[in-house]
Structure 1
Amino acid sequence: MRSDLMCQQFWLRHFLPVDGTDDISSSVGGLKPRLKDYDTGVESGEDLEDEDFYVLFPSIVDEQERLNYKREFDQEHQEYKSLQAELDSINQDLAELALALNQHPEGGPQFLDAMDQYTRLKNLKKSSGYQIKKKRCKYLRLKLSHIKRKISEYDRRP
């Protein structure tokens, strides 16, 4: 089985914030026009080096190794699903708030309430905690895809 330490080092090397800042900027003025270009925060991000997964999880050579890969997949798949659900929920809430802001008169109580919630969620997405979760989720997706591919390759062998 692959060393957890190696996986941890890979994750730290590729995904922890470099500068350690928690840049939170407010953008209340001119919000309505910008909502037309609203995105859910799914940036392409930097390209990851797949070869690290090839080192950690090379081709499977026997049934025991396949079981180890499957065990690793099952353990981390739950974490991935949980993280992805959390991130999706935040993005869905933001999309709904963006619609609410466009439906209510600017300056009204419903608009201001939606604006407060929208700003809070946008700031949350800029926080280091959210960014770490997002990068961890991306890492897990790539790792799980690689492991699944290796298991499939093993299962298709003659």
Structure 2
Amino acid sequence: MEIGYSKKSNKLEVLLWSIALPGFGQLINEKYIKGILLVSLEILINVMGNFNKVIVLSFNFKIEEAIAETNYMWLMFYPCLYFFSIWDAYKDAGGGKDQSFPYLPLLFSAYFVTTGLMFSPRFTFFGYLMGPIWLPILFLPIGLGIGVIIRRILLKIYSKETI
């Protein structure tokens, strides 16, 4: 390691690369088999779910076309793969070791983003159809928030038990 290269910097690097593409954080952590498997699964799910095309259509506000192009049976795997990859890489870099239940916000994010994806062909927000990209993104902070709340509740329950 370089002089001055801190553990916090490594955790942040791994976290940001994992957000960019599932499996990259594992490769940085030198977990090569896991990293290659996650990158391969990301590519497989991306191709089979038409994810890149759906993203382009959604960003161009062609929501009905995006919905028509989405292979929901494949794309529903993506949120869990994505958030697991982020958590796993961060954990392998030493993140969350001094905390209890640190995984809950990302776990509930995966649940809620998947739920948003399932409802995306018909759910409207202020009269606008959100589609398979924007609705899951809107469900993300809800999942994060509920994960944080549940984590805090569990921390209070378990701290009372130890008194």
Higher RCO (CA 8 Å, separation ≥ 6 residues): 1
Highest Rg: 1 or 2? 1
Confirm or deny a common fold (TM above 0.5): no
TM-score norm. by structure 2 comes to 0.34
TM-score norm. by structure 1 comes to 0.35
